[in-house]
Structure 1
Amino acid sequence: MKRDFEALGNTTFDLAIIGGGIQGAATAREAALRGLKVALVEARDFASGTSSRSSKLIHGGLRYLEQLRFKLVREARQERRLLVRLAPHLARPVPFLLPIYHQDPYSPLKVRFGLTVYDLMGNLGREDRHRMLDRKSAVELMPGLRPDGLRAAALYHDSITDDARLTLENVLDAAQHGAVAVNYAEIRGLAASTRAGRKEVVAAEAEDRLTGRRLELSARFWVNAAGPWVDRVRALAPGFDGSKTVRLTKGAHLLIPPLTGRHALLAAVLSEHRVFLIVPWHNCALLGTTDTDFEGDPATVQPDRADTEYLLRAANRVLQRQLAPEDVAGGWAGVRVLAIEPGNAAGSPSANTREYRFHEDPWAANFVSICGGKLTTARALGEKLTDYVVTRLGVTASTREGQSSRSIPLPGGHTGAFEMYVHIASWDAVREYGVPLEAGEHLVRTYGSRWRKVLDPVRERRSFAEPLPGAPALLAAEVEFAIEHEMAVNAEDFLLRRSGLSWTACTVPEAAPAVVEIFARRFGWSVERRQVALEAFSRSACSGTLRAPV
């Protein structure tokens, strides 16, 4: 996948999508698979907003059952099952322990009933079904759990993902099927015209944020998938009335020691009608999440002292070992985009629907804005939105009967039984390319069936097989691959959104200078430009490092 800003001005596209997060990427992939001419533009890097700042889960949302949002849970559970087949390297099942204490707002009977419904809405088979545990069995399974007041527990399954790479693989596949995808391309304005008595968007001014070059992007239909910036993009259209379509809330996460072992943990927050979770993530665990209204710039959101105190207090209620601010190795925050519910504008953010809707404004008949949605249901959203777009465009039946994201694996998804594939392919990497086993396994888990494409240049340049300082599983070959084939243009793009490290990159600061040097060599950076890149990565990756309240 090569970056080609000029290609945006070479034709009139069937569909232009503004926003390269998971919703825009999934829609671009679906539309490209069906034969539409698609443009996807992202003002920053792909997945640099909410889509790399989630809880890393592919899940049905157990708590949504209590809110009677059965449609949402069913769709999400079915999408989880589908994603395990289409991208097994990006949807790894993980067991969750749900402890039930005497003061908790739910009983063992209520939990058993809820998880039975959860299973019926879509699981992966017998091993994926829930089971109830008594107090003794729960503590044996998770020794770090506080036994005092524990009544029982439940064991159930959801899946974890690398949200940024999930987004990126959707972009890669869209591009492979003909879409023009460009990061660091910002829409500065929208031009409208009246056709058959209706106002329609006909063109947009796009700016290359790397060079300052501007051009006109033309399309027959437009999708606004700008996430937390969705209303700002709507405001670019002539006739905008100042209305809001989404509510923004902040979700903070912390990196803590892996106190729950290979199991994830879901438990109640007694002060609110909410839950928190601890999920194993690389050599750490992520602790999340908060849910508070957010009014600032989504590009600057980060955990603060109140977030840290809230999450540590919630976790310490159920953990034997008490966490302190000094245990926090880093963190991140994202901005959730929730569709505004009439009559609930002042209600609890956690009670706001997580379902998505498509909004159309009367001053732009061919312009749809995506409001809300979950990481898990992005593929289904893209499928439904593309159905609507092809109907509006009057696409012929032969195009409608093309390929679908429901049946075509993502680029790295051609693995079969994944854990067996990891075992065999990791040793193949050792034998064929001479890389350490730890690096081989990291490559296979990160890139799935594409791992050989990352390592093939090692045959010509052995230096590409060298591990990066402080990160023995991370190879120079991955940096080169990200630049050459995944449109990475700076160190942050690679470390946070392509390396598989995600936000744990802040725990290996020694790797950053080596990554910057590779980019500097490829792009001819000056000493000053190198320093700017290092500082930018530090601000982004280490902003959540709150080792003491401030």
Structure 2
Amino acid sequence: MTKQQRSQFLGPEQREAAWAQLGKDTFDVIVIGGGVVGAGIALDAATRGLEVALIEARDLASGTSSRSSKMFHGGLRYLEMMEFGLVREALKERELALSTLAPHLVKPLRFLYPLSHYVWERPYVAAGLTLYDTMGGAKSVPGQHHLTKSAAMRLAPGLKNGVLTGGLTYYDTVVDDARHTMTVARTAANYGAVVRTSTQVVGFLCEADRVVGVKVRDSEDGRTGEIRGSVVINATGVWTDEIQAIAGQRGRFHVRASKGVHIVVPRDRIASDTSIILRTEKSVLFVIAWSTDHWIIGTTDTDWNLDLAHPAATKSDIDYLLEHINKVLVTPLTHDDITGVYAGLRPLLAGESDQTSKLSREHAVARIAPGLVAIAGGKYTTYRVMAYDAVDEAAQDIPRRVPPTVTEKVPLLGADGYHALMNQTPHLAEKYGVHPYRIQHLLNRYGSLIDEVLGLADGNPELLQPITDSPGYLRVEAVYAAAAEGALHLDDILARRTRISIEYAHRGADSADEVARLVAPVLGWSESDIAREVAVYTARVKAEIESQTQPDDAGADALRLEAPEARREVLGPVPRSQPESV
């Protein structure tokens, strides 16, 4: 393994070295939050030549950034809200990701927009899509295409004959958000950032009126320490107000959590050759082609004021999605068709409206106090813009010249050489003794890092076998998650490094013991550790399934909270309050 490879490997050895480095060095930038924005800030700052620390209380992408609609999209619906700048910005970022930054992770996806009204609707939608295409929506992907009713029905025969009068198709993209976020963080580490998960901020270091660092606690073993730096950036999304409370600072803005629920169903339950976007009375409903085997259907949009770490879907949420999708399907979906459910929280800037669907998706950056910057709002697609805005704002607290951002020209790990390797699929299949289809699957998850992943099976050919009850993934992928991708618990592997928790009806419970035994040598687990990990994960699955039978948020939240935390020492949230300025 080369020195460069070691720098971006997030494994047990790196984790211990990072703890020592965090306590010893003084950083230019300390980033709190391991979601896509925090990881993006770490990458932006590191590639400007700054000394960077990125810390996260739980796992990379364990919050909002693993529970999105899985799209790197321009935000077509924001055109109706007249947010043209946001759409143009998002489309630019989508194009960058698709063509340069992450072509192995961000993929084109065709959508059908069914028309249900004669005369006025087609020109109205066409005008919006023309604007979308003109703003940048039709660079690396085709532009809109008009369909007659019969052509639309051939494309999506699962739709009821009477629900459409015709249709249009357009393109957006799909992405595994958790893998993308993790890859952004690993790329930051590759450029020198110190990245450490299970590292929770419990206090701030201050000198006079200036923030000079943070107090941290290891969420695994309870160790405490201090990290010193020129500026701290709060990039914690829906936890923004909680971190501000710990800092004892009144924020310049407040963040409101909006819950979005998605369900996952097998691909054969809906007969369609394309993803679908449907209008609802409140917003839109997406039917998103996920891998080759599933559809993701979502989303809801409701206020959430309960536990931020584990938002719970209710029976009402699921019924809402089934009711709306069944209005247009020939063969209705039932609860028994659902293989997975997930709930995420959108960090919306509060104050613009009482309806969460109309709260701003723009982001805001503020210097809360000398040495402390906060950023919130925005949308997944524009994480890179949010990141460089935050670093630009933080620059005034960094006592040396800060060069301009360069991340527009910095591909993520795995992007370089990806297209050439796709053309070499037959050769790679022969080299590793793996089916070509499996090679393509791996390339679309790891890109040009595929040799690192499959190299872990040298001398252990059994690692090239599928996980028994989750055959979409190889055993070596679980091992690589622990050795190189920062996974510390079964939940990290089954819910984020892979998507076993939503792609199989057993929600990962049937694979928990096998995966635990695969990663035990890497993570140093004993038999009792294995037993605890399996027990904690299966308790999580049980709690989530039971919470999804409850009629309201309070009941669902209470049941979800009965499951134990995988990270034994993680602390609960501080009370929400409005602290006075210092």
- Same structural fold, with TM-score higher than 0.5 when normalized by the shorter chain: yes
> Following the alignment from structure 2 to structure 1, what is the Cα–Cα distance between the partners of residues 134 and 542?
41
Q: Aligned pair 1:266/2:277, yes or no?
A: yes
Deviations 1:230-250 (A, max 9, x none): 110011113x34886111110
Query: 2: distance between equivalents of 1:224 and 1:150?
Result: 47
Matches within 5 A, 1:357-436: 357-361=364-368, 364-396=369-401, 400=403, 404-415=406-417, 417=419, 421-422=421-422, 424-425=424-425, 427-436=426-435
Separation in structure 2 between the aligned mates of residue 206 and residue 89 of structure 1, nearest angstrom:
35
Residue 407 of structure 1 and its aligned partner are, at CA, apart by 0.6
Q: In the alignment, which of 355, 360, 368 is matched to residue 353 of structure 1?
A: 360
* Cα shift at 1:351: 0.9
| Pair 1:548–1:76, CA change in 2 (3 A) | closer
Paired amino acid for 2:258: T
Cα drift, residue 22 of structure 1 = 0.3
Give the aligned partner of residue 112 of structure 1: 126
- Match in the other structure for 1:99: 114
Cα distance in structure 2, aligned partners of 1:262 and 1:541: 32
| Residues 93-121 of structure 1: per-residue CA shift (max 9 Å, x gap) | 000011121399x7111100000000011
The verdict on how the C-alpha distance between 1:382 and 1:141 changes in structure 2, with shifts beyond 3 A counting, is same
Q: Give unmatched runs, 5+ long, in structure 1.
A: none
Cα distance, 1:480 vs. partner?
2.0
Task: Map residues 106-255 of structure 1 onto 2, 5 A cutoff.
Answer: 107-125=121-139, 127-194=141-208, 199-238=209-248, 240-241=249-250, 245-255=254-264
For the residues of structure 1 that align with 2:57 and 2:515, how far apart are their CA atoms?
Answer: 23
Query: In structure 1, what is the equivalent of residue 554 of structure 2?
Result: none
What is the CA–CA distance in structure 1 between the aligned matches of 2:252 and 2:407, rounded to whole Å? 33
CA contact (8 A) 1:76 1:376 kept: yes
Cα 1:480/1:297, change in 2 over 3 Å? same
Q: Which residue of 1 aligns with 2:557?
A: none
Which residue pairs with 2:33 in the alignment?
Answer: 19
Residues 1:534 and 2:548 are matched in the alignment: no
Question: 1:494-549: per-residue Cα shift (whole Å, max 9, x none)?
Answer: 22221355632555543322111123333343444323212333355576558995
Task: Identify which range, 79-88 or 506-515, moves more after superposition.
Answer: 506-515
Task: Give, in whole Å, the separation in 2 of the partners of 1:101 and 1:535.
Answer: 49
The residue type paired with residue 100 of structure 1 is L
CA distance in 1, matches of 2:479, 2:361: 38
Q: Indicate conservation of the 8 Å contact 1:490/1:519, yes or no.
A: no
Distance, in Å, in 2 between the alignment partners of 1:354 and 1:241 is: 22
CA contact (8 A) 1:249 1:335 kept: yes
Q: Distance in 2 between matches of 1:412 and 1:541?
A: 32
Residue 481 of structure 1 pairs with residue 490 of structure 2: no
Contact 2:230 2:397 in 1 (8 A): no
> What percent of counterpart residues are identical?
34
Find out whether 1:314 has 2:328 as its counterpart.
no
| Aligned 8 A contact 1:433 1:459 in 2 | no
TM-score w.r.t. length of structure 1? 0.91
In structure 2, C-alpha distance between the alignment counterparts of 1:33 and 1:146, rounded to whole Å: 52
* Alpha-carbon distance, 1:472 to partner: 2.9
Cα distance change, pair 233–127 in 1 and its aligned pair in 2 (3 A): closer
SS in 2 for 1:80: helix
3-state SS in 2 of match to 1:32: helix
Match of 2:286 among 274, 277, 281: 277
Report if the CA contact (8 A) 1:328-1:545 is conserved. Answer: no
Instruction: Tell me if the contact between 1:188 and 1:204 (Cα under 8 Å) persists in the aligned partners.
Output: yes
1:377 partner letter:
T
Residue pair 1:326, 1:547 contacting (<8 A) in 2 also: no
Q: CA deviation at 1:224?
A: 0.3
Seen in structure 2, the aligned counterparts of structure 1 residues 492 and 447 have a Cα distance that, compared at 3 Å, is: same
Where 2:41 maps in the other structure, the secondary structure is helix
Larger deviation, residues 380-389 vs 497-506: 497-506
Determine the C-alpha separation between the residues in 2 that align with 1:316 and 1:524: 48
Where does 1:58-69 land on structure 2 (aligned, <5 Å)?
A: 58-69=72-83
- Whether the 8 Å CA contact 1:302–1:543 is kept in 2: the answer is no
CA distance in 2, matches of 1:437, 1:546: 40
Q: Residue 330 of structure 1 contacts residue 542 of structure 1 at CA under 8 Å; is this kept in 2?
A: no
Query: Does the 8 Å CA contact 2:89/2:382 hold for their aligned counterparts?
Result: yes
Q: 1:329 aligns with which of 316, 319, 339?
A: 339
Contact 1:325 1:546 in 2 (8 A): no
Q: Structure 1 pair 158/502, CA: closer, same or farther in 2 (3 Å)?
A: farther
Structure 2: segments with no counterpart, 5+ residues? 1-8, 551-582
- Tell me the distance in 2 between the aligned counterparts of 1:14 and 1:547: 43
Shift in alpha-carbon separation, 1:231–1:280, aligned structure 2, 3 A: same
Question: How far apart, in 2, do the equivalents of 1:545 and 1:137 lie?
Answer: 39
Read off the aligned partner of 1:474 and give its amino acid letter. Answer: Y
SS at 2:247 equivalent: coil
Question: What is the root-mean-square deviation in Å for CA atoms of aligned residues?
Answer: 2.3
Give the C-alpha shift of residue 434 in structure 1.
1.4
Q: By how many angstroms is 1:436 displaced?
A: 3.4
Measure the CA separation in 2 of the matches of 1:184 and 1:547.
26
